[in-house]
Structure 1
Amino acid sequence: MKVLHCYRTFYPETQGGIEQSIFEMARYTAGSEVLTLSNTPGAVSVNGIPVKAERRWLSMASCCMGPSLVSDLYKKQADIVHLHFPWPFGDLSYLLGGRRRPLIVTYHSDIVRQRALGAVYGPLMRLFLNRADRIVATSPDYLASSPVLREFVDKVEVIPLGISESSYPQPAAKSVETLRERFDDGFMLFVGALRYYKGLEFLVRSAPGLPFPILIAGKGPEEKRLRALANSLGAENVHFLGHVDDEEKMALLHLCRAVVFPSHLRSEAFGVTLLEGMMAGKPLISCDIGTGTSFVNLDGETGHVIPPADVSALRAAMLDLSGNREKAADWGSAARARYEATFTGRKMAEAYGHLYRRVLTERADKQAVA
């Protein structure tokens, strides 16, 4: 069985939650390949997974475009085409070059910010989703709250995202000790891209006067504004670490008291960082935004789920876990158990493998009847 994953970005050019998820799906499914766009086109192998990148001609409103991808998609041999949504150019590419091959769509997020574009794009989106054999939601919460998914509920299945511990390095003892000397082991940690929907403004506003460091690891378009806000508030306990590699990230997760994930808009559909925190056995703080974040983090069991954009609630949640080491440890243990039960990369890939085989069987049965 040959599975071709298509998404607008992928390793090694970019790193993110969707890229990580595609990697996990592909690594456990023999015959998987990835087709993407890049500023540096070419063919590479990412840990044994063949990746073909066509040239990205332009990117507008987060929609990467490269016409040569259409012809490459047409030529590629694949039993299943697996596209990752939203990516309007990917929809068009399948309609033009997919040759009506079996289509799985993982629906990662509604179009939230570009509403005007979404109105224009609507007819193309519905034509594309109508062609899909199955649409996969990443959580029951997102299925329940997405008006688009509810239109196609008869073909929607839920498969949670997952990550594999073996994909992450063990932190070096020296890295851990260096961090401990600098920040101790009671700090709050955010890891991710610094984007508009991550709620980091509220994290910075909650920081002044708190008796522990708040570490923000990652880069992104909001960094300059957030640094200026921290300076204006005198939030000297907020530390911007910039990009961290996987070893540094695991050292940070090893030492932190809790993982803080204050995303306040529906653009945050799931939150792979939450899974990384659970994998590391840490309690979580996230916001109730009607998406997968509250499916991952269970309030009062694996962490705090608070109202979005609420500085007081965020501050109180961090103070609670900072001041109660035993609670933090208990919730961290529960988070680790939930990760092992529900969110491993192998469980996700196995679920997709079963789905691929069912879709191929259904297609074969239809062709036999015809």
Structure 2
Amino acid sequence: MKDKTNAPKGILHVTKAYFPKLGGVETVVRQLAEGASAEGHRVSVLCCGEQSAVEEINGVTIHRYQPFLNVGSAPLSFRFMLKLWQLMKQHDIIHFHVPNPVGELAFCLSPYKRRVKSLCTYHLDPVRPKSFVRVYKVLLHSFLKCLDVICPTSPNYVRSSDILQQHQKSCLPIPLGAEVSRFTEVSSSALAEAERAVESLKHPRVLFCGRFSYYKGLSYLLEAIAQVPDASLILVGRGEKEAELKEQAAALGLEGRMLFLDHLPDELYPAIYHTADLFVLPSAYRSEAFGIVSLEAMAAGLPLVTTELGTGTSFYNVDGETGFVVPPMDPDALAEAINKLLTDRELASQMGLAARKRVDDFDLSRMLRSYLDLYEELLSEATKGDFAGL
């Protein structure tokens, strides 16, 4: 057990949004905030919300401020900026979640930034809107220079990001994590209920879980499934592309071979992985910086097919060992990989076992411990320096 002498007195997470809003970044922030709170730390979150409010959720104090404008997916709020300055005087660790232009601008302008230790989880490069990205990158570089440590979610992302390439010496990759035990074993009752939900589909079954967004590449997955006539497809989630995907499925003649399932209850969600034979994350763009759903699939013992984006999707999935990594936006390559795993059950079993073994390195407890140790280290010594060696 580490000496807690240098444990932080207060940790402030600065992010665009927070629970109950659902999303990849929101999930990570909640895991870190509630995890640190459970360890006895005072934890706050500063974010934007539909209404300005202060509330407490599971021991974490949430400060929400209503934005006056949204640029793409970036909320802007002057009250958010002023509140950050106030909260910086009350916390000794400021943990940003990038990208978040309003938080980054406020920190760059703050007269208090040298009085605190600061770090960020670098979730992804800015990508949209393109007209805003060029200007935003200037701000982002200035912001990153102010931080003590930058934590990308995989070493792959450092190597492929033109932004992080300029800040390598401050980078310390900390992979995201999943609650492995929750997906490794599920109750017989949950499994039976999940099976009833998909019983209309025959095996072998291909599974996708996540948001139906532009960057997920789901249209390419549907094209690939059309080339594997024996396969069924389960899509779990919702999103702006749902209607378009249903039209495409009908046009491809996939009726009776696929199901759209809405977000599942927490008690049933882990079981859906155990009804499938293979998990596919067909993401088309670097907005898919990691993909925690793949870790959940690995915990359930499923082999993976992911795409090569220079992100976490080819970090946790080792091509030829835990599954296959294929080029993005290539339905033929997707179909070939899917077919190979569905027709060679011995290979699929070997890769599923390898995936189950590898995912232990990505357990949620490891991510949380890495950040808690980093907080302590930041307070115990001047650490702004060389974290290279990726």
Same fold (TM over 0.5): yes
Q: Deviations over 1:127-167 (max 9, x none)?
A: 21111111111111111111110111111111111122467
Whether 1:320 and 2:320 are equivalent positions in the alignment is no
Partner Cα separation in structure 1 for residue 243 and residue 191 of structure 2? 32
> Aligned residue for 2:45?
34
Query: Is structure 2 residue 292 aligned with structure 1 residue 272?
Result: yes
Secondary structure of 1:39's counterpart equals: coil
* Greater Cα shift, 247-256 or 3-12: 247-256
Deviations 1:199-226 (A, max 9, x none): 1110111222521211111111212221
2:103 pairs, out of 74, 84, 90, with: 90
Once the two structures are superposed, residues 266-324 of structure 1 have per-residue CA deviations (whole angstroms, 9 ceiling, x without a partner) of 11111111111112221111011111110010011111111111111111211222223
Partner of 1:118: 133
Instruction: Say yes or no: does 1:20 pair with 2:63.
Output: no
> Which stretch of the first structure deviates more once superposed, 150-159 or 224-233?
224-233
1:43 pairs, out of 44, 54, 59, with: 54
Report the Cα distance in structure 2 between the residues aligned to 1:20 and 1:98, rounded to whole angstroms.
31
Q: CA deviation at 1:28?
A: 2.8
Report what 1:368 is aligned to: none
Q: Which residue of 1 aligns with 2:4?
A: none
Which amino acid in structure 1 is aligned with residue 22 of structure 2? Q
Secondary structure of 1:246's counterpart equals coil
1:135 maps onto 2:143 in alignment: no
Q: Given residue 48 of structure 2, which amino acid in structure 1 is its aligned partner?
A: L
- The amino acid that maps onto 1:156 is C
Asked whether 1:188 is paired with 2:206, we answer: yes
Give me the whole-angstrom Cα distance separating, in 2, the residues matched to 1:166 and 1:50.
28
Residue 94 of structure 2 corresponds to 81
- Cα distance between partner residues in 2 of 1:187 and 1:319: 11
Q: Distance in 2 between matches of 1:173 and 1:198?
A: 27
1:20–1:163 contact (8 Å) kept in structure 2: no
Tell me whether 1:355 sits opposite 2:374 in the alignment: yes
Distance 1:65 1:161, change over 3 A: same
- Mapping of 1:139-158 within 5 angstroms? 139-158=154-173
More deviation, 297-306/39-48: 39-48
Give 1:198's aligned residue. Answer: 216
> Structure 1 residues 31 and 166 mapped into 2: Cα distance closer, same or farther (>3 Å)?
farther
Residues 243, 176 of structure 1: alpha-carbon distance in 2 compared, 3 angstrom cutoff: closer
Residue identity in the other structure for 2:32? M
Alignment identity in percent?
Answer: 35
Structure-2 change in CA distance of 1:210 and 1:74 (3 Å)? same
Give the counterpart of 2:230 among 211, 214, 234. 211
Q: Is the 8 A contact 2:93 2:118 kept in 1?
A: yes
Q: Does 1:254 align with 2:274?
A: yes
| 1:122 aligned partner, one-letter code | K
Q: What is the CA deviation profile of residues 214-240 of structure 1, one whole-angstrom value per residue up to 9, with x for unaligned ones? A: 111111121222121112222222322
CA distance in 1, matches of 2:194, 2:382: 52
- Whether the 8 Å contact between 2:377 and 2:383 is mirrored in structure 1 is no
Quickly say closer, same or farther: Cα 1:33–1:163, change in 2 above 3 A. Answer: farther
Deviations 1:239-285 (A, max 9, x none): 22233333332121111111110002111111111111112221111
Distance apart, 1:180 and its partner CA: 5.1
Aligned to 2:5: none
With normalisation by structure 1, the TM-score equals 0.91
By how many angstroms is 1:75 displaced? 2.4
Distance 2:200 2:58 in 1: 34
Query: Partner of 1:106: helix, strand, or coil?
Result: strand
Two-structure CA RMSD over aligned residues (Å):
2.2
**1:305 aligned to which of 325, 329, 333:** 325
Number of residue pairs aligned between Structure 1 and Structure 2:
363
TM-score scaled by structure 2?
Answer: 0.87
Cα distance in 1 for residues equivalent to 2:368 and 2:131: 35
Once the two structures are TM-superposed, the CA of residue 33 in structure 1 deviates from its matched residue by 2.3
Stretch moving more, 260-269 or 229-238: 229-238
CA drift of 1:24 comes to 2.3
**Distance in 2 (alpha carbons) for counterparts of 1:183 and 1:68:** 51
Q: Secondary structure at the match of 2:264?
A: coil
Aligned-partner Cα distance in 1 for 2:376–2:232: 49
Aligned-partner residue type, residue 205 of structure 1: E
Q: Are the equivalent residues in 1 in contact too, given 2:16–2:47 (CA < 8 A)?
A: yes
Name the amino acid aligned to 2:78. P
* Aligned partner of residue 9 in structure 1, secondary structure: coil
Counterparts in 2 of 1:329 and 1:132: CA distance versus 1, 3 Å: same
Q: Give the residue type in structure 1 aligned to 2:31.
A: E
Q: Give the Cα separation in 2 of the matches to 1:35 and 1:98.
A: 18
How far apart are 1:17 and its partner, in Å?
1.8
Partner of 1:3: 11
Change (3 A) 1:336 1:221: same
Aligned pair in 2 of structure 1 residues 43, 164: CA closer, same or farther (>3 Å)? farther
Q: Which amino acid aligns with 1:20?
A: T
